[in-house]
Amino acid sequence: MAASAVRMPETPARRGRPGYDLAGILRGAVAEFTEHGYDATSIALIAKRLGLSKAAIYHHVGSKEELLRLALDQALGALEGVLTEPGARDGAAADRLTHVLRGAVRVLVAELPSVTLLLRLRGNTEVERAALARRRRFDRAVTELMDAARDEGTLRDDIDPRVAERLLFGMINSIVEWYRPGGPEDVEALADDVLRLALEGLRR
């Protein structure tokens, strides 16, 4: 429920007060966490960034930790959602892998701020560690797909599987460093490029 609520576009706050709804507060919190780190961020700093009082934020959430949890849930929920899509569950392993990689690129672009936050977590708190564990479960599901495609004979077996997986995610995750929505790269063209490079390589 929270996950779908926070994905809503910015709408006027409830009760007719000026300011931000939960989605807007969350966006401000994610930006602050990403710029200054979770540890260095306080509700007061998030309030200052948004031009709100601390009370206006506490009207929506109980703590800084809850904002972090909601933001990470947004990124992780979207990634996990890809794994439950029919294209990720039915068919040849290579096709399911392709579906999941394309889905991961889409999520990364659609949820760029919260995925960026997830990728930069340091794991200093319980909420961060729980998110990192969820993230590892997602990675493991992709690794299993890669293993299945290798067994199927569609993926090459002369690259160390763990190295292949890390390089693949290194490539995909690096997109957050330079991709800006609304820029010249359309997300589907970007996903095509990622899949071509990852599956077929640069050499003609």
Site for its own copies, rule CB under 8 A: 94, 146, 153-160, 163-164, 166-175, 177-178, 185, 189-190, 193-194, 196-204
CB 111 within 8 A of CB 75: yes
- b/e per residue 148-163 (b: at least 16 CB within 10 A): bbbeeeebeeeeeeee
In the complex, what is the shortest distance from the CB of residue 120 to its own copies, in angstroms, rounded to a whole number?
A: 10
Q: Tell me how far apart the alpha carbons of residues 65 and 86 are, in angstroms, rounded to a whole number.
A: 34
Burial of 25 (0-12, 13-18, 19+ CB in 10 A): buried
In the complex, what is the shortest distance from the CB of residue 50 to its own copies, in angstroms, rounded to a whole number?
A: 23
In the complex, what is the shortest distance from the CB of residue 91 to its own copies, in angstroms, rounded to a whole number?
A: 15
Q: Tell me how far apart the alpha carbons of residues 22 and 7 are, in angstroms, rounded to a whole number.
A: 9
| Structure tokens that stand for 192 in this block | 């095509």
In the complex, what is the shortest distance from the CB of residue 62 to its own copies, in angstroms, rounded to a whole number?
A: 29
